[in-house]
């Protein structure tokens, strides 16, 4: 397996990975979904237009197993997306992809990468903890959207929030 920058020829494979990633994110909120390739194409196009570095994990048969998208704002590196296919998980692929983001941050003179994580995304939170990320930096707070059903509660310090 190799980790490399994505190429234009990878786009069809990346579309499928992005669509699967979005399905899993919706599942975190209890929403069942199907792959939306058109939306994945648009998301990929936005990454390319913004010149976000995109790394892929590729196996020996040229199958893409996962991807990582970095957003760089004023020398600050954010992991925009990190996804590994279910069948390829628990093989160190996410760690190898994530190291690419850390290398970019290091090249820019930083010691950390920033991450937006759904509060109930236990897999990602556990992964980041194993990578040494354990400082809560920001909390996004908003009013509920019209007709939004919030059926979970998250505690942060002495405060409880609907989610």
Residue percentage of the chain with pLDDT more than 70:
100
Residues 23/42, Cβ–Cβ less than 8 Å = no
What local confidence, expressed as pLDDT, does residue 154 receive?
86
| pLDDT over threshold 90, residue 144 | no
pTM: 0.88
What domains, with CATH codes, occur in the chain?
2-135+151-162 (3.40.630.30)
End-to-end CA distance of the chain: 38
Rounded Cα distance, 73 and 9, in Å: 27
Per-residue pLDDT averaged across 33-47, rounded? 95
CB atoms near residue 25 (< 10 Å): 15
Rounded Cα distance, 94 and 98, in Å: 6
**Minimum mean pLDDT range among 11-15, 51-55, 139-143:** 139-143
Q: CB-hemisphere CA count at 13 Å for 58?
A: 16
Digit-coded pLDDT (tens) for 55-101: 999 999 999 999 999 999 999 999 999 999 999 999 999 999 999 99
């Amino acid at each position: 397996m190799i980790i490399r920058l994505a190429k234009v020829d990878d786009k069809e494979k990346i579309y499928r990975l992005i669509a699967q990633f979005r399905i899993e994110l919706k599942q975190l909120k209890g929403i069942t979904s199907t792959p939306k390739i058109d939306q994945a194409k648009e998301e990929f196009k936005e990454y390319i237009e913004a010149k976000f570095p995109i790394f892929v994990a590729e196996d020996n048969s040229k199958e893409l197993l996962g991807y990582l998208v970095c957003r760089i704002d004023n020398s600050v590196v954010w992991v925009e997306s990190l996804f590994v296919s279910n069948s390829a998980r628990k093989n160190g692929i996410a760690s190898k992809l994530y190291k690419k983001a850390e290398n970019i941050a290091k090249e820019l003179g930083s010691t950390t990468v920033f991450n937006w994580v759904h509060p109930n995304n236990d897999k990602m939170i556990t992964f980041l903890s194993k990578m040494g990320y354990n400082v809560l930096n920001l909390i996004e707070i908003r009013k509920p959207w019209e007709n939004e059903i919030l059926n979970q509660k998250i505690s942060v310090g002495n405060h409880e929030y609907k989610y």
